A and B are shown apart, each in its own frame.
Chain A
Amino acid sequence: MTTQIDLKQIERRAWTMYFDDGLWEIFLGVLLIGMGVRTVTDNVWFTFLALSSVLVWPLGKRLVTIPRVGLAKFGPARRAKQFKITVIIVVAVLATFALWIYAANSGVNLPDAASAAVVGGFITFIFWLLAYFLDFRRLYLYAPLFASTLALSEVFEDPIPGYAALGAGGLILLIGALYLLRFMRRYPKPSLEESDA
């Protein structure tokens, strides 16, 4: 028996298990596909498809993840990181809103490429911050993919950005679906006795 009980690794493995269900990918994939379909069809009702993506995570956790792997409440260090994530999201939304108002009223007209770089860079940065605080490494890869589809709308006319969003969304959704299948195989539903314990 070794005294090398790596508690940090145990905690990290427990935390990251909750990302193995692929729900983040499914959420991002549905969001991008919704945005893509909205852009390609120019039908505003498809905005609801994009918005429906916010249901993926809570429903998935409740119906799939927690019944299969149980529930843990993590300690103060993790809770502090989760608080920082909330702050990041709030600041990102406010900053985006403020920039949008400024851009609309300032008369500043950036070249398309510069505009795309600003949009892409900003979104990538926010996603990377989320990846860091969530300890969710796959998000580092999805960030530029997500950001570039949005940045394309600064350079190209519709429906090209729409098709890009469909492509990226489809890819991320497929990855999420594969993760979900693997998760469900690895963690089958427990017996009644085990789940009621």
Chain B
Amino acid sequence: MTHETPSEGLQPISEIDRVIHEPARLMILAHLYVVDSADFLFLMRQTGLTFGNLSSHMSKLEAAGYVHVAKGFAGRKPRTMLRLTGKGREAFKSYRQSMKQVLDGLPD
């Protein structure tokens, strides 16, 4: 079986970052992009995701090297702060560019 390469017009679609190209992860990254760092609860409130859902997506983003997880304490209470890595910021910017290209290139 031969693999068909995407036709020229659809090339950008195949290059879309699939780690980011998932609605929940896209929302998480968009929120982390606009702040310096944030804790879990903040992201839960902003994205509307459940704790389990957010944890699962965070694991994938951390595995991809897009998010840095810093565990610390606020007084005696544990607090986990999350922030985009440099790689994550660049990936998010590239993703936005790619999506713009893909959608601008589609016929009416």
Seen from chain A, the residues whose Cβ lies within 8 Å of a Cβ on chain B are 1-3, 5, 7, 10-11, 13-14, 17, 68-76, 187, 190-191, 193-197
Nearest CB to that of B55 among chain A residues? A197
Does B96 contact A70, Cβ atoms closer than 8 Å?
Answer: no
The answer, among A11, A187, A194, for a CB contact under 8 Å with B40, is A194
Q: Counting CB contacts under 8 A, is B46 at the interface?
A: yes
Does B51 contact A71, Cβ atoms closer than 8 Å?
Answer: no
List, in ascending order, chain A residues with CB within 8 A of B18's CB: none
Does A69 contact B41, Cβ atoms closer than 8 Å?
Answer: yes
The 8 closest A-B pairs by CB, nearest first: A70-B41, A70-B42, A11-B34, A197-B40, A72-B38, A73-B36, A3-B99, A70-B39
Nearest CB to that of A74 among chain B residues? B35
Does B34 contact A14, Cβ atoms closer than 8 Å?
Answer: yes
Chain B: interface residue total (CB-CB under 8 A): 30
List, in ascending order, chain A residues with CB within 8 A of B51's CB: 191, 193-194, 197
Q: Counting CB contacts under 8 A, is B80 at the interface?
A: yes
Does A3 contact B103, Cβ atoms closer than 8 Å?
Answer: yes
Does A73 contact B40, Cβ atoms closer than 8 Å?
Answer: no
The answer, among A73, A194, A196, for a CB contact under 8 Å with B38, is A73
Does B38 contact A7, Cβ atoms closer than 8 Å?
Answer: no
Instruction: Say how far B75's CB is from chain A's closest CB, in angstroms.
Output: 10
Q: Assuming the A-B contacts A10-B31, A73-B36, A196-B78, are A190 and B23 also in contact, with contact meaning beta carbons closer than 8 angstroms in the complex?
A: no
Does A69 contact B34, Cβ atoms closer than 8 Å?
Answer: no
Q: Assuming the A-B contacts A3-B100, A71-B38, are A17 and B45 also in contact, with contact meaning beta carbons closer than 8 angstroms in the complex?
A: yes
Q: Report the separation of the CA atoms of residues A13 and B48 in the bound assembly, to the nearest whole angstrom.
A: 14
List, in ascending order, chain A residues with CB within 8 A of B80's CB: 197
Q: Counting CB contacts under 8 A, is B3 at the interface?
A: no
Does B39 contact A72, Cβ atoms closer than 8 Å?
Answer: yes
